[in-house]
Amino acid sequence: MYGMIATWRMALEGVEAASELLKADADAGDALEKAIACVEDCEFYKSVGYGGLPNEEMEVELDAAFMDGNTLDIGCVGAVKDFANPIRIARQLSKEEVNNFLVGRGAEKYAQRHGFERKNMLTERAKIHYQNRVKELSQQQLKPYTGHDTVGMVCLDANAHMCAATSTSGLFMKRSGRLGDSPVIGSGLYVDSQVGGASATGLGEDVMKGCISYEIVRLMKEGKTPQEACDWAVRSFDAELRKRRGQAGDMSLIAMNNQGEWGVATNIDTFSFVVATAQQPATVYLAKRDAQGKTTYEKASKEWIEEYVQTRKAPAKLKE
Ligand code: GLY
C-alpha cells in the first residue's frame, strides 16, 4: 500500500512522477522531494518556486518545509532567494541535529555551502504580474493568490513510512521577510507515521493561529478518520475565527492516515487537490464548502483540467 495527497491541481505532474517511484518501492521522502521539486520547477505556477510571485520589493522569497514521520525530523527554510529548489534545502536541513529552521541569508549561506543549485527565480511573467498588481493594489487587501498558494503534500510509502512537505512563494506582495504557515511545523504541515499527516494552504496568518495541521493529526490519533478530522478542524476553527475576529482567511487542508485513507476540508468555494494511491492513479478533485459548512468533493472534469492548464499558460500582459 502507498498513497499521496497534495494541495491544488498544480501538484498533478509531481504526484504522477512520485507515484511511479512509490510503485517501484521508493522511500516516501524521495518521492515527496521529487513531487515538490517538480512543482517548484514549473514557471507557470505563480505561487511556488520558479515563477513564484514576488514580494513588495519585487524579490521572490521562498519558504519550504520537510518532515519525516518516522523520526519526526524537521527541516524548514524561510524567505530564501535565488535557489532553485527550496524543498531540497529543507530536506537537507532535516538531517541536521540542530539549526533545522533557517531563514534569509543564513538559509542561503547553508544552501551555498551544500552546493544547491542557484537560480534567479524571478521570471518575466512574474514581473508583469507584479507591475499589474502595483496598479491594482491601492484598493485591495492582500490574500492568497486565487486558485494557487502553497503546494503541500503528505506521502505514505509501501514500508509504512510517512513524510510531509510544503513549498510556496507566500503571499503575493508580502513584506520582505514575511513568513506564513508553510514552513512552520504544526501549522503548514505535520506528520507522524504512527498516525498520519496533514498539510495546509491558505492565509498563513490565520492558519498559524490554529496550528491546524497538528490539530488534524491529533484528531486522527484520537480515532477520527482523515475526513472527519479535516472537517472538524476546519469547521470549528473557521467558526472560532469568525466569532472572535469577525472573519476567517482562506483555509484548505488535506490529510492522509497511515492506512492510505484520506480527507480534505476547505472554507473556500473551489479548492482543487490531487490524490494517488496503489489502487488509483493521480486524480484531480474539486472540493467546496456546502451551505452547512461541510466539505464535499468530486472528480474534476477533463474540461476543467484543460481550462486550468490553458489559463496558467496564457501569455501575461501588462495592464493599461
Ligand atoms: N499559506 C502560505 C502563506 O501564507 O504564505
pLDDT tens track for 47-84: 999 989 999 999 999 999 999 999 999 999 999 999 99
pLDDT tens profile 170-211: 998 899 999 999 999 999 999 999 999 999 999 999 999 999
pLDDT at 317: 82
What's the predicted TM-score (pTM) here? 0.94
**How far apart, in whole angstroms, are the C-alpha atoms of residue 177 and residue 201?**
19
Which residues in the chain come in under a pLDDT of 70? Answer: 137-148
Contact (CB, 8 A) for 165 and 87: yes
Dihedral angle sign, alpha carbons of residues 12, 17, 23, 29: negative
- DSSP-based three-state secondary structure for 69: coil
Q: 270 an active-site residue?
A: no
3-state secondary structure at position 304: helix
Return the best residue to mutate from 47, 55, 77, 149 for the ligand 1 pocket (most ligand atoms within 8 A of CB). Answer: 149
| C-beta of 180 in contact with ligand 1 (< 6 A) | yes
User: Cα(278) to centroid of ligand 1, in Å?
Assistant: 31
Residue 139 has what pLDDT?
Answer: 53
pLDDT of residue 261: 98
The reply to whether ligand 1 has any atom less than 6 angstroms from the CB of 206 is no
> Which residue, among 43, 48, 17, has the nearest Cα to 30 in the 3D structure?
17
**Helices of type H across the chain:** 12-23, 28-41, 86-93, 104-113, 124-136, 204-210, 212-221, 226-245, 302-313
Distance, CA of 145 to CA of 127 (rounded, Å) = 15
